Structure 1
């Protein structure tokens, strides 16, 4: 064992345990890189999910499934419209994911998640704390994104959209869905992080940097979490797009339970699973990309770090 005054070589660290001089800035860069890559690559599929989840869409915005929605949007609006609002995601995803992974690593370290062995509770708790912090920052950007994704949106830029929402509905519109978002993303993230840790442990027991296992574990963990939390995602979409609705009942939805009652009344229990396929199809590659990029950036910093 090295003496306390001896420098500790980077190579002596378990890959999953960050070196003691791994800075907050480096964690921010790794998280931001992962977030922007995750959201921008899969944005068109996320747009399809939003379109399919909207209740009582405007004329011309009714779709029977993913494939039909894809071809119809491309034919009527042009395939470029599937990227409408992506700027909002890029602007928000970088800072939000930086905060996400900083919080994740801090809480995981505090709970002993970087110690030898398997620590699913530490992973789940750190993931839940991370999502509460990051969603507080990301929620307004998500509202803007979904307002620009819906059928018939006339917004030309995220700044015009922001100004219009604030003028017509007030600041509250940017956070009316936040309790629902937290109710969805906390279990989503807890499930994803604990599943990611368990799958990674099974596929990569030596806990070495391995892009293939990070991608597989991230994708499987994300898909499982997405499937189980889809009903809350449908409620979130209703609240975030209520300002575009023609139906007074949808437009005046006051919160999570009110929105859930409206969905049940208008669309039955099946309404809570609208957009399930595109949600899973978005989340599996998104989380695979996110974890792969984050682990890549983290590995780069660890390997090229100066000795403390």
Structure 2
């Protein structure tokens, strides 16, 4: 893998390079969200729980319990509640993430002839901030949809939720951009480590002619990247869910929300939803980076 990155490539125009990066990133995001969305929903449900165990018959004790109760009370397709906003935004979101990462990477070379781990991390951090600005309104809508515990046939539509948020609160920081700071910090921290770890480790692994070995190695590095990054940014993810959830009026500010959760529910509450998050973003991170790499290779061969 290291040798591949070192090989010179044919010079492409900026527009063609942008098309390759956007096409690769968009494809990677679409595949990942379709496969892993149920785990994102479970994560949000667990993060929104405030009541103590036993005080609510709908309290979820874990991933399996959440999936079982949702199936029984809300139907099989409830596992994909709130998927429309991610589907609508996922292709442009991932396209923006991967495209801006490549642009920021050039900015953060710091005079070096080749990218360093610091280059990858700084580029990932800024790409995460850029991504956060784009996705936050969709996150607000998604969390509202995911928090609804009615049966699928009785649940409000994506459009109904969107209209209600705009009617009551508008487009500002109390409306469609609620929780923006938490989203920026969550995405920035995640992508800073995610890209920094993946590209640094991948470039240090010797290339192997065996395609199966290459594929499995990329999957393993991508899995570790997504898993470790999830552990780092989870407190900001919890804060985001609380601020954007049905009881969001109780929380003001990202750091203040983290402090409120810590004081009222303890340190472990800041890691609510970690297991489903890792279950989603570990494999999801592997899926996304591997799909991106192979789609990138395919588009390069087609457009060159």
Which one is further off, 264-273 or 167-176?
167-176
Instruction: Deviation per CA, 1:52-76: give whole Å up to 9, x if none.
Output: 1103369554111111111111111
Q: CA deviation at 1:262?
A: 2.1
CA contact (8 A) 1:49 1:275 kept: yes
Q: 1:35 to 1:126 in 2, by over 3 A?
A: same
Q: CA deviation at 1:206?
A: 7.3
Aligned to 1:28: 22
Q: 1:289 to 1:13 in 2, by over 3 A?
A: closer
Q: CA deviation at 1:18?
A: 7.7
Q: CA deviation at 1:105?
A: 1.0
Q: 1:130 to 1:19 in 2, by over 3 A?
A: farther
Equivalent residue in structure 1 for 2:47, among 41, 50, 53: 53
Q: CA deviation at 1:25?
A: 2.0
Equivalent residue in structure 1 for 2:195, among 193, 196, 199: 193
Q: 1:287 to 1:97 in 2, by over 3 A?
A: same
Instruction: Deviation per CA, 1:89-135: give whole Å up to 9, x if none.
Output: 0101111111111111112234449x876611111111112111111
In the TM superposition, 1:269-280 aligns within 5 A as 269-280=267-278
Equivalent residue in structure 2 for 1:281, among 272, 279, 282: 279
Instruction: Deviation per CA, 1:1-38: give whole Å up to 9, x if none.
Output: xxxxxxxxxxx984696843343122211111111112
CA contact (8 A) 2:58 2:69 kept: no
Aligned to 1:77: 74
Q: 1:75 to 1:298 in 2, by over 3 A?
A: same
Aligned to 1:232: 236
CA distance in structure 2 between the partners assigned to 1:269 and 1:228 by the alignment:
14
In the TM superposition, 1:248-259 aligns within 5 A as 250-259=248-257
Aligned length: 288
Instruction: Deviation per CA, 1:223-253: give whole Å up to 9, x if none.
Output: 0010121111111110111xx23xxxx5232
CA contact (8 A) 2:28 2:291 kept: yes
CA distance in structure 2 between the partners assigned to 1:167 and 1:62 by the alignment:
31
Residue 213 in 1 paired to residue 205 in 2? no
**What stretches of structure 1 of length at least 5 have no aligned partner?**
1-11
Aligned to 1:5: none
Aligned to 1:130: 127
Aligned to 1:298: 296
CA distance in structure 2 between the partners assigned to 1:219 and 1:69 by the alignment:
24
**TM-score of the superposed pair, with normalisation by structure 1:** 0.85
Going by fraction, where is helix more abundant, 1 or 2?
2
CA contact (8 A) 2:105 2:115 kept: no
State the secondary structure of the residue aligned to 1:175. Answer: coil
Q: 1:302 to 1:162 in 2, by over 3 A?
A: same
Q: 1:204 to 1:223 in 2, by over 3 A?
A: farther
Provide the alpha-carbon RMSD of the alignment. 2.6
Deviating runs (4+, > 6 A) in structure 1? 15-18, 206-209
**What stretches of structure 2 of length at least 5 have no aligned partner?**
none
Q: 1:110 to 1:48 in 2, by over 3 A?
A: same
Q: CA deviation at 1:85?
A: 1.3
Residue 144 in 1 paired to residue 141 in 2? yes
CA distance in structure 2 between the partners assigned to 1:41 and 1:161 by the alignment:
24
**TM-score of the superposed pair, with normalisation by structure 2:** 0.86
CA distance in structure 1 between the partners assigned to 2:195 and 2:238 by the alignment:
22
